[in-house]
A and B are shown apart, each in its own frame.
Chain A
């Protein structure tokens, strides 16, 4: 089991472009979580998804951010019209149903220039 895979590891975008961050959960895991880590801050919960469902998006900014976890393929965190303040490390975690331990990916470091 390869673990939670995130790609790309590093992503540079110009202001106004779109950023797409991918997360492939561990095999057998149907729950995916996205977290954001701003410089000098801790991990902040963004969204919790199960296959084809958004369960909790209370941490997602109201505009420009969206997330999906389709039946097939990775979970995608999409940021439209990026701004400098979106520069951060974005972490994905996954867990199987009914298990409270979450396994983390190595993160995607987004830099907006």
Chain B
């Protein structure tokens, strides 16, 4: 089964500290991976996707095929980064669908 694993349900760091949210996926071919974010009382929205190799709001994520990981990183956390973060993988088996990890609730302490 295609799985996406986020081992940390909760992550708390201080403002200005580095942040790393972990994501691992079960290996199968060339994965297409995403990070989604859900701020309080807002809808889930795309943060970044690995194929675009961009940095959004200071976040980056690198696909590591050897470790089957797609960790999300930011060097200096800000209070407005507090949110739920979901790692997702696109599965194409005939039809396409996103498979999500369980999510990590990130809290940035002042």
| Residue ranges of A at the interface with B (Cβ–Cβ < 8 Å) | 3-4, 33, 35, 40-45, 48, 55-56, 91, 93, 100-107
Contact = CB atoms under 8 A, between A and B. Distances in A.
A42 B101 contact: yes
Contacts of B46: 101-103
Contacts of B94: 55-56
Given A55-B95, A56-B95, A104 B44 contact: yes
Interface in B17-35: 32, 34
Interface of B: 6, 9, 32, 34, 36, 42-46, 49, 86, 90, 94-103
| 9 residue pairs, one from A and one from B, having the closest CB atoms | A42-B102, A104-B44, A43-B100, A56-B95, A55-B95, A106-B43, A42-B103, A104-B43, A42-B100
Contact of A100 (B9, B86, B96): B96
B86 A43 contact: yes
A107 to B, nearest CB: 7
Nearest to A56: B95
Contact of A45 (B34, B97, B102): B97
A93 B6 CA distance: 21
Nearest to B96: A100
B45 A104 contact: yes
Given A43-B103, A56-B95, A91-B44, 8 more contacts: A3-B43, A4-B43, A33-B98, A93-B98, A101-B34, A103-B46, A104-B43, A107-B43
Most buried by B among A4, A102, A106: A102
Given A42-B102, A104-B44, A105-B43, A48 B49 contact: no
23 contacts: A3-B43, A4-B43, A33-B98, A40-B9, A42-B6, A42-B86, A42-B100, A42-B101, A43-B44, A43-B86, A44-B100, A45-B97, A48-B96, A55-B94, A55-B95, A56-B97, A91-B44, A93-B44, A101-B46, A104-B36, A104-B44, A104-B45, A106-B43
A4 B95 CA distance: 21
B102 A100 contact: no
